[in-house]
Each structure stands twice: as structure tokens, then as C-alpha cells.
Amino acid sequence: MRRVWIHIALLLILSACVKEADWSVPENGNNYIVVDGIITSEAKTQYIFIHNNKAGLNDATIPISGAVVIISNEVATYQLYEDAEEAGRYITDSIVAAQLDKNYSLLIFYQEKIFSAQAYMVTGKAFPELSYKKNDDDELYSIDYVASSFETEDPAMWEILVDWSSVPGYENENLDDCMKKMLFYTLPTLDVSQVFAPALEQISFPAGSKIDQRRYSLTPEHAAFVRSLLLETSWQGGVFPSDPANVSTNLSDGALGFFGVCAVNSLSLIVTAEKNTNFK
Amino acid sequence: MEKLVYYLKQVVMNPRKIIRLLTFFLLAAALVTACKKDKPEEIQPDSSPVQQLSQDDNSVEDNVDEAIIDAGQIISEGKLKMGIPCGATLDSTIIMNDTIIHFLTYDGLNCAQTKYRKGRMHIKIKQNTHWLFPGAFLHIHFINYEVTNVFTNNKMVINGMSEIENVSGGIPALLGNGLNTVIHRNSAHVSISFNGKPPRGWHLAKMLVYSGTPGNLMLAVNGFGVTPGHSNLLSWGTDRDGKMFFTQIGESVVFKESCQWLPYSGEQIYLIPADHLKATATFGYNSNNEPISGSECPTRYRLDWQQQGHSGTIFLPLY
């Protein structure tokens, strides 16, 4: 009986300690600039995206126009121009390929403020292709295995583009319904919220689909950014969610996002019933 | 105290019981161990070594071929004299015994501005021999010849010797002017260091058949190398991971000048015995993974690989 009284007393004391606090959060949130910028080892027109942060998860992206954007390394400087066809997308005016053993700087001048970031590239490597399997309940296929999600060395981002717009029977479908992009990651860390992350949507596609698989090499700093981003997004809502925290960044002066330089290796394959189903 | 003695009596077991229990555990352990069966370790299929090999081999051949073209340029004579290759300096030319030796130093971009080259090359030809004549031989000695791809910054250092025979006589620049084909044979034994890694032995046995007219030249490549158990070899040696490899030509690989000398058609077979890996590269595919047609230029090649009962087909970019 005495124990019960002790518990009741503790409960009362602890309840009395709870204090309501007012925290004024602006209705539309603070205004930050967000950089989504990866330049790669591919010889192509390189680009980065700059936009404002959103107040809500499903809000439309607010592009930032009129910024001056410069990317440079020890031997070259490239000025990026805003794409006339897509606001907030800044492109190089020539074919550029990021190089190993070079240090890259991103400089953004916007509304009297300067934001900067530094990045470098680690070497890419050839990789075994992904595997896919036939669904149990229909004639479609889905991705079975891309790469290990944990590797102590060589972190990477995997971009999978599946296109079945040319497969007979799907030619007249909406393009957006026949082309899907998926991202997977190989990181040098293993989090409990990653292991027990919520299930992802399964993308199904027919035989004859074209799959382009690209591996982006990540520096340790880039991998840390990806991890902190995933902790707040894809890995939230599972059995062991992490405490909310700010996503890391390599941008200065309060800008968000990441500027990265990646070596890209790629391959392509066609989904067939006969091949590529027997390994994992 | 009585209670404690009773408790201890309850707890301490009879020695016979202990022996019986131990025997039971030992038997169980023996049974479980006996049931454990060593499963044969299943090899995880991995096509990446052969992907890397196909790219490395293409780069080695491309870099050696470029050096051969430079050498031909240096020893050209009379009306065909073409000057010094881009990014190179002809230090001196001497005659030693019956051999003319040209000493070439590289430190600059190639003419296409795609590669930065450093290092030295000695080009040797017998005195009173004309490179344009059938049966002429040319020797190239690579000394720390370093080639850096300006786009990827991938480095390759070549050391060793290459012997080129002018089988048919003539040079590609003379095609279309009464000359239909030019045949050269290159036998090279070089060591290659990829991105500062330990050097690897690389052998080349390459027959080059040029045809067509300037602007529309074609090059057909075949292999003539032989080792025990392998023939029609284009190249063999140890790859960047230190594994033995063999590259054979299944069907002549054709390159077109009008397609920036990219492989347009043909088949090349790669073998890495240590990995039980075999792959066939078929050239002439576009970005939709379809065979090219008409005047279309290739952007990809197809790689069909096999490894211990596993197989796959992938398409890789040509550049």
C-alpha cells in the first residue's frame, strides 16, 4: 500500500513539472535558399538547382531566379546561367566534366548575400548490375536487389531509371506513368531507423523495359549529408524513428542542401523473362 | 540452519545424475556437429571485373594506336612529311649502328585535346628502310609514357616495346589514291600502371586493316596472338586487379572515321579464368540499346557475360 502512495506522489510531482511553452513559428517558415547541386565526371552540360525552402512537405518548389552562380577549381572557372526553360536551374554554357584531384568551389551571389560550398570527387568504379524478379501476382517485374545498403568503404548513390514507354501495349500511355526514377544508397553507417524503415513503394514494370543504372561516388561528407537527409525523410515513421534534427550541409551562411562532385559509372539493361533472375 | 542444510541438499545434485546429464549433452553435441554439413560456397555473380577489363583494354589499345600514328608521322618523309605530333617535341635524331632513332618527349595535349601526354618515346627504324614499303618494321620504345584523360583524369603509364610491321606497304593517308587497303601488325609487350597502381603486364597482337577513302576510312581489327589453349588473341596479361585475362576477336571489330573512330561492329571475347568469367562484347548499339542502322553512330556496346551458371546482358557506354 505504501508503494502505491509513493507512485501517486511521484506522478503528481512529475506532472507538476510539465510546463507549457509558447514557441512562435512563422506561418510560412523562414526563408532559406536550398541548393540541390551535383556535378559529375560525365562530359555534359552540368547544372544545379536553387530554390527556396517549402513550408509544407507537399508544397510546390519555389525556384530562385536571378542568382549569380560560379563553379571553379584550381585551373578553371565556369559561370552558370539560369535555364530559360526551367526557372531555378542553372547550367554551364559548355560541356564540362568534373575531374579527380581537383577541389571545386560553388559560389552563389543572391540578394546581396554570398553563399559558398567546397567539394571534391572520389573515384568511381564498375559495378555488377541490379537484379529484378517477376511479381507473384501478375506478369510484371520489380527491382529485387541493387547494392548493399552498408559498406565501410566506397559510399554511393544509385540512380535507377526504368522506362517502359516503348514496350508494345504501353506506347500510348502517359509518359510519366511509364518512366520511373528510384534512388538507393550504399552508406558507411548503419542506423536502427534505417534497418526498420517504413516499406517503400514497389515499382512494377513489364518485360522489355529499359533500365539505366548509374552509380554516383560519394565523399564521406556527401554520405553524411545523405544519411542526415534520410534520417529525416525515408527512415522516419518506422519502428525506431530518430529524433528530428537539422540536415547537415556544406553550404555557408545558412543556406541548405548540398553541393557535391560525383564520379559516375553507368550501365543499361533490358528486362527479359529469361535472364537476370537467378542471382542476388 | 536446518533450513539452509535442507536447501543445499536439494540444490546439490547426485554425481550419477551429473554424469548422465554430461553424457547426454556430449551425445547431443556430437549429433548436432555431425548433422552440420559444409555447403559449397555459392559464388555471387559479378560482371564488374569484365566491365572494367573491357574499358581498360579499349583504353590501352587506343593509347598505343595513337602513339603508333605519332611514330608514323615522325618517320614520314618527302611529300608525306607531317611534322611533329601535338604536345610533343623531337629532341634529337641519331644513327646508331644501322638504326635511326628519333627521341620524342611529350608534355602537352594531343591534337583532339582529349588527352594530356607526358613522358618519352624512342622510335627506331633500320637505316635505308622506307616505312611505306611492304615488310618494313618500326620499333617504339615507351619510357614512362603517361596519358591522362582530360575528362576523367584517369591516368595510364606505359613502359615497354612495340613492334609494328607494315604488311601491305603504304599508310592510311594514301588510301583512295590507288591504294585500297593498308595492313599493319602490332606486337607489343608493355607494362601498364592504372592511376598509380602497380604495373601490369599487357601483350598486344593486333592486325589493323585500313580501307576506304580519306574522311570515310574504316579500320578492321583482328587478333593474331597465341598462347597455350588460346588463339586469335588480341591482348592478354594481368588486369588491374592482378588477374590473368585473355581477349579474343570473335568477329573483326570495325571502327569508322565518320563515327569518331568508335567501334561500329564486331565481337570481342573476354576471359578472366580466376573469376570463371567470360563475356562477349558486341559493338554497334545506340542509346536505346538497339543495334545501329544506316549512318547512325554507336554510343553503346553490348556485353553478354557468363559466370558459373549465371548470366546477364548489359549495355555499356562507349565513352
- What ipTM is given for this predicted complex? 0.82
Q: Do B151 and A41 touch (CB under 8 A)?
A: yes
Share of chain B above pLDDT 70, in %: 85
- Please report whether residue B100 resides in a domain: yes
Q: Do B152 and A41 touch (CB under 8 A)?
A: yes
Locate B20 and state its grid cell.
548422465
Mean pLDDT over each residue of chain B, to the nearest integer: 88
Q: Do A128 and B52 touch (CB under 8 A)?
A: no
The answer to whether residue A269 scores a pLDDT higher than 70 is yes
Q: What is the pLDDT of residues A85-105, one digit of tens each?
A: 999 999 999 989 898 889 999
| Greater pLDDT, A244 or B269 | B269
The answer to whether residue A133 scores a pLDDT higher than 70 is yes
Is the CB of residue B105 less than 8 Å away from at least one CB of chain A?
A: no
Q: How confident is the model at residue B172 (pLDDT cuts 50, 70, 90)?
A: confident
Question: What span, in angstroms and rounded, lies between the C-alpha atoms of A118 and A104?
Answer: 6
The H or E element that residue B314 is part of is: strand B310-317
Provide, as residue numbers in chain B, all residues whose Cβ is less than 8 Å from the Cβ of A279.
44-45, 310
- Tell which of B47, B58, B286, B313 to mutate to test the A interface (max A CBs under 10 Å): B313
The answer to whether residue B3 scores a pLDDT higher than 70 is no
- Tell which of B59, B151, B280, B302 to mutate to test the A interface (max A CBs under 10 Å): B151
Give the Cβ contact number of residue A190 at 10 Å: 11
Class of A33-120 in CATH: mainly beta
Q: Do A99 and B153 touch (CB under 8 A)?
A: yes
Domain count, chain B: 1
The answer to whether residue A166 scores a pLDDT higher than 60 is yes
The pLDDT assigned to A275 comes to 56
8 Å CB contact between A102 and A74: yes
Q: What is the pLDDT of residues B72-128, one digit of tens each?
A: 888 876 666 667 889 999 999 999 999 999 999 999 999 888 899 999 999 999 998
The pLDDT assigned to B17 comes to 66
The answer to whether residue B57 scores a pLDDT higher than 80 is yes
- Please report whether residue B157 resides in a domain: yes
| Residue B200, beta-bridge partner list | B192
Is the CB of residue B300 less than 8 Å away from at least one CB of chain A?
A: yes
- Please report whether residue B106 resides in a domain: yes
Alpha helices in chain B (DSSP H): 2-11, 15-35, 48-75
SS3 letters across A7-66: HHHHHHHHHHHCCCCCCCCCCCCCCCEEEEEEEECCCECCEEEEEECCCCCCCCCEECCC
Q: Do A275 and B313 touch (CB under 8 A)?
A: yes
Q: Do A278 and B300 touch (CB under 8 A)?
A: no
Locate B258 and state its grid cell.
565518320
Is the CB of residue A268 less than 8 Å away from at least one CB of chain B?
A: yes
8 Å CB contact between B17 and B203: no
Amino acid at A205: F
Q: How confident is the model at residue B293 (pLDDT cuts 50, 70, 90)?
A: very high
In chain A, domain spans? 33-120, 131-270
- Please report whether residue B34 resides in a domain: no
Q: How confident is the model at residue A280 (pLDDT cuts 50, 70, 90)?
A: very low
Mean pLDDT over each residue of chain A, to the nearest integer: 90
The answer to whether residue B10 scores a pLDDT higher than 60 is no
**Average pLDDT in the B233-257 region?**
95
**Average pLDDT in the B115-142 region?**
93
SS3 B81: coil
Provide, as residue numbers in chain A, all residues whose Cβ is less than 8 Å from the Cβ of B43.
none
Which of B44, B152, B314 lies at the smallest CB-CB distance from A267? B314
**Average pLDDT in the B136-157 region?**
91
The answer to whether residue A34 scores a pLDDT higher than 60 is yes
- Please report whether residue B21 resides in a domain: no
Question: Which residue in chain B has the smallest CA separation from A131?
Answer: B312
8 Å CB contact between A234 and A197: yes
Is the CB of residue A125 less than 8 Å away from at least one CB of chain B?
A: yes
Please tell me the distance in Å from B176's CA to the nearest CA on chain A. Answer: 35
Q: Which domain holds residue B184?
A: 48-317
Please tell me the distance in Å from A118's CA to the nearest CA on chain B. Answer: 19
The pLDDT assigned to B151 comes to 75
Over its C-alpha atoms, chain A yields an Rg (Å, rounded) of 23
Q: Residue written as cell 588510301?
A: B175
Locate A49 and state its grid cell.
538547382
- Please report whether residue B123 resides in a domain: yes
Pairing outcome for strands B262-272 and B277-285: antiparallel
Question: CA dist A82 to A38, A76, A106, A186, B234, Å?
Answer: 16, 20, 15, 32, 49
Share of chain A above pLDDT 70, in %: 94
Q: What is the pLDDT of residues A72-89, one digit of tens each?
A: 999 999 999 999 999 999
Q: Which residues, at least 6 apart from B53, have a Cβ–Cβ distance to it below 8 Å?
A: B239, B245, B247, B270, B272
Q: Do B55 and A126 touch (CB under 8 A)?
A: yes
